[in-house]
A and B are shown apart, each in its own frame.
Chain A
Amino acid sequence: MAENEDRLRGVFGPTTPDGVAERLRKSNMGAALFGRPPEPVLIGRYQLVRLLGEGGMGAVFEATHEAGGPPVAIKLVRISSRGADARLLREGKALRKLSHPNLVEVLDVGRCDEGVYIAMSLVRGKTLRDWGSPLRPPDEVIPMIIAIAEGLFAAHEHGVIHRDIKPDNILVDQAGHPRVIDFGLVKAMKGSAVEDESTFAERLTATGTMMGSVGYTAPELLLAGAVGPAADQFSLAVTAWELLFGVSPFKGKTADGVALAIVSGRVRALTSQSRAADHCEAALRKALARAPESRHPSMRAFAAALSGESSANGGSWFTRLLDRR
């Protein structure tokens, strides 16, 4: 116990976590207790307003720029491996060139004492996961997936692959429009080569949701093969499947079991009471193919396949979507 006593004394004692999130909370609490403005907590040229959420990779804050303007979201990313900060800055600068109504706009990227920050448009809404619970009818889910696919298609056209598509990385704004977030973080945090599996594990375990992340991960990414836009298609198909049918397309009680089902290409059979039309299920199964070359040739092709039923009705969803562009 003597050794543990030393450890126990060392854990936060007498110090306290003094990260940005703690300083902001203290500042806001002081303001509430004493009826005065909060002491500014700054990241770069942004003043933090409140903490929106915390996760394995870092924290997200609502903030305002010192020059004024609408509130923004600041993601503060903890840097855990050498070189990750430089990679993240490079990725962030590339993401600033993306502009699409279904992608959250990256406004600024920079370094600070605690890591790297990414300033984005603030989306007030909920995650796609929350939006999809309880289950929504297919005629709400399919247009949502098509819109997301269009956003990802635009990113792919700019050479950017997300690599971590899942319901938690898609926000639905108050008007009901989906906005994809957290582009590029995975690649930047992983390193320059997909083959580096140890950093892949760091990502999974850093998010604290190893099981959840594995379930959306394309087999080529699990097996450290070459990764292209088809990996995002796979992940979006898993997302769509869950939103439509309420279960993952891959059965498994453990991360190993799910990973095995994914790399084996064993997609769950559906009951006769499938909620979606046959063409939707077929489109999803193709997007879930084990081999990337067996999937739809692009996100746009995937979206077109999903909307196949409405093509028979004059292409209502998809045609309207394309006509808007």
Chain B
Amino acid sequence: MRLLFRLGVLAALCAYAQGFALAGHDAIDVDPALKRYAGQITALGAPDAKGEIYSFRAKRIRAETAFAPDELRGWRVTILAGARFANVFEVRGNSGDEITVTPVKGPLNGIAVKDVFVVENIPAAGAARPQ
């Protein structure tokens, strides 16, 4: 199962990295519903005094460019893998590849290096909350 997961993520990463044409409903050529980037966590931020983590370092999966400083401020991060799968956070800001989230949705504890995520230009406030 773990191997299958890794292969699946690898396939998806390859598709993004190599710019393969995508298929599926996306064969319908419509404008994006919102601006978004896919990314992968490369390092965890240091925990605060309570052991809570609110930042991580990341790389863009389709990495023609890095994240511009504070480009992601106010955007919504959704974790796509690992223990925090389907959890949402709100970006406080980013300094290049380091992304810091607000405490609104709680700490990031549980995320791991190599987890993938999508960051979207939409407020996290109205997004689904973990139950």
A, B from the same assembly:
no
- A interface residue numbers (CB < 8 A to B): none
B residues whose Cβ falls under 8 Å from a Cβ of A = none
